[in-house]
Structure 1
Amino acid sequence: MQILHRKSEVIRREFKRSLQVLLFLSPSFSEKVRSNLSSMKIFSRKESTSFVPKRVLVLTKISRYQFEKMREPDLDESLLRLKLKERGSDYEAMLTSHYRNKAAELRTTEVLRKLNIEYKIMDRVTTWRVFVFRLYFEKEEDIVDTSQNLPEERRLPWLALNEVFIGETLSARTSSLLIKLDDEEKYHKVKSSGLCVSTGTGSTSWFRSISCLSPQTVKDVLSIADPQKIYASEDVENICSEYNNRLQFSAEDARMNYAIRDMIVSETWPLPKSMHPRGFCVRVMVRSLCHDSGLVLDGGISVPFPMGTIAILETYPEDSLRNIVLE
């Protein structure tokens, strides 16, 4: 009986801590729940679904203001403000957004402190550097010149959360790529403005922008399908919105979705058989036929992708993130 009582107290304490985090992240929770938090009773709970972290890594966003400061380290605040205004940037809005991000960071860490949860704050630049050095420089004597004798095959020291984009560095130049999906034996030669391979997490961002339809396009297609019928602007908007919303897929989906941007199709360059401009896949193999192309991870890291280089894109269960979904 005493053991059961102690177990109940532990569950009660863990639930209270989790609910405090939820109340912080969801201010719209009723005041009644807040006032009765200390006297709340637990009637049922599945321990297997309970998760109370002991340590938390807070990955902060680099604001545009911080980015500009890093670009111009020798400028003081007044000169930076003047330069940004000359460039046409809104310095005040940029600074306001930066302070808003920092305030959110402060509120988050304050809650973690109150809950006695150990935490560490890192920005994306610091995190990338840590991953690189951990991979290549485990020991001081291992630091060597890696520009020579690179292995023919190597795994990049970064992971992409949202998407990987492959294309020519000069955006006006056509990207020529050989693409092989899943277990296909032969490559498809594709000319386009680039290839975007997205996870479910990134399906609301760059992938959606490449694949979405505009109301004008929908209206033109409908007029061809039925020239006699006139569609109201509201109907066109609804159809367009419904189509674009369906481009998003679950972040828990282990598949990827590729999108070929501005795929070139003409009489002299027909659409490759069985190669669609967009579709799901679990593995993508790409060989570069470009002059000066790059492989861009999450819009932040660019890796040279010269002619003849082969990139294999796939996901692994061990790289999955463990997230908290707040409803």
Structure 2
Amino acid sequence: MRIMVTGTAGFIGNHLALRLLERGDEVIGIDNLNDYYDVNLKLDRLARINDYQGYTDVRLDLADRAGMEAVFKKYQPQKVVNLAAQAGVRYSIENPHAYMDSNIVGFMNVLEGCRHHGVEHLVYASSSSVYGANESMPFSVHDNVDHPLSLYAASKKANELMAHTYSNLYQLPTTGLRFFTVYGPWGRPDMALFLFTKAILNGEKIKVFNYGRHRRDFTYIDDIVEGVIRTLDHSAQPNPQWSGKAPDPGTSRAPWRVYNIGNQKPVELLDYIHTLEKFLGRSAEKELLPLQPGDVPDTYADVEALIADVDYRPSTTIEQGIERFVDWYRDYYQLN
């Protein structure tokens, strides 16, 4: 199978590309290597996959319309996984235009490429952030998600709506995956686990927002990748029970689906930090702060739809995941 993966220098995209290559797929990898965080980390991720015979590395910004048209025309991918995006809730307050360029214009170019080149299935990254002001737990794909709390969340909600339009008009099967706080080796330096580990090892204070009381459905990278691959291999289908009189937000009469992909076991932030302290062998000096603008107090994924459709079963405990991250971090940065 020839699969286009955008964001192959990114955290999830790199792990996914590696798994696809290991199972024998051909991967067309697209990334613009922007400097949102350390480019050297991105290059080191790419070094894990560059030597595979089935890998093609393309340096391109998704917002480059002509460039994207040329890539689709040249490589004719059978399936596409769009993971490239401007990430981060707080950064969307500082630099909103970056989110429009990558997450809206870029995604539009992906949709157009899929439409004009007969792509069999498009899987794309959404986010648990779309639940915004929703206080009903656990978050369900059948919930209304019309009240985002950040521009990042709004851009991901927009992706779901754009995908539905293309599924409806052109019968393009599309599946959106609402990721819940992904962590693990090769993770993003702006994520909590990375920031906490660096600060604790350097003897610095860690910033603990919402006074450590909020909960996150932390999901280990290997479980995420397994879910993405299972979804990719299972093209979205129309819901035969869908009714226009009472439409289900999670399904459609078009070949369109959205799924939560999480661990389904939320953990309080202070407990998460305590586990990290255990594997680092050091205590954290905490600076307790209020909830940040755009953040939600809790996330908790209802993944029953993904279990039913693709038998998704996350299996990595918080203890296992954090231990593996700490081992990777010490090895990557050559720490004792």
TM (normalized to structure 2)? 0.26
Query: Larger RCO: Structure 1 or Structure 2 (Cα < 8 Å, ≥ 6 residues apart)?
Result: 2
**Structure of greater Rg:** 1
